[in-house]
Amino acid sequence: MATKKSQTRTAKNMRTRVTHEFPALFDDNSEVLLLGSIPSPKSREQGFYYGHPQNRFWKVLASVLNEPLPATIDEKKAMLLKHYIALWDVLDSCTIIGASDTSIEDVVPNDIASLLAQTKIKRIFCTGATAHKLYEKYCEAATGIKAVKLPSTSPANCAVKFEKLVEAYKAIQSV
């Protein structure tokens, strides 16, 4: 008989089809695009990007942009748009095990070229190696823009210290 713990572990290890549930964040003035891979289970639960409480994305951006740490989704959106930053993910859907980017398969990319056509975006940054690899494979030819790979702010990437993340993410400010 399976224990509750082993049932949970098994459920976490199951491959699931995930479809992006919320829109890209951008406006007519957006100049920089930050791309993740696909929202994590915690992000999908919260209905917005980088929703895992241990993910350092919002803390890093607040530090880089010299802004207070945003607490609500509306505050997060306002902070990004104030600094001409758009936010989306490379993938519209994929199969994935839990939140493990390394398990991503069967991908359907987002139409990033269409987003670029609606904005002033000329620079793209990927928030992690998997997002960067997926962007290069599925989107770069259509956009004509090479993306810069930033280190992941995920709790799984805890080897990279906060200060190093802030230093790396300062690149989004350079014009």
- Whether 110 is catalytic: no
Q: How far apart are CA 76 and CA 70, in angstroms?
A: 5
Which residues share a beta bridge with 150? 127
Strands 32-36 and 123-127, sheet pairing: parallel
b/e map 141-165, b = 16+ CB within 10 Å: eebebebebbbbbbeeeeeeeeeeb
Structure tokens at 143: 């956009």
Looking at residue 121, its amino acid is I
Q: How far apart are CA 95 and CA 52, in angstroms?
A: 20
Catalytic residue among 55, 66, 110, 157: 55
- Which H or E element spans position 102? strand 100-109
Cα 158 to Cα 28, 99, 117, 152, 154: the distances in Å are: 35, 15, 36, 9, 7
Active-site positions read: 55
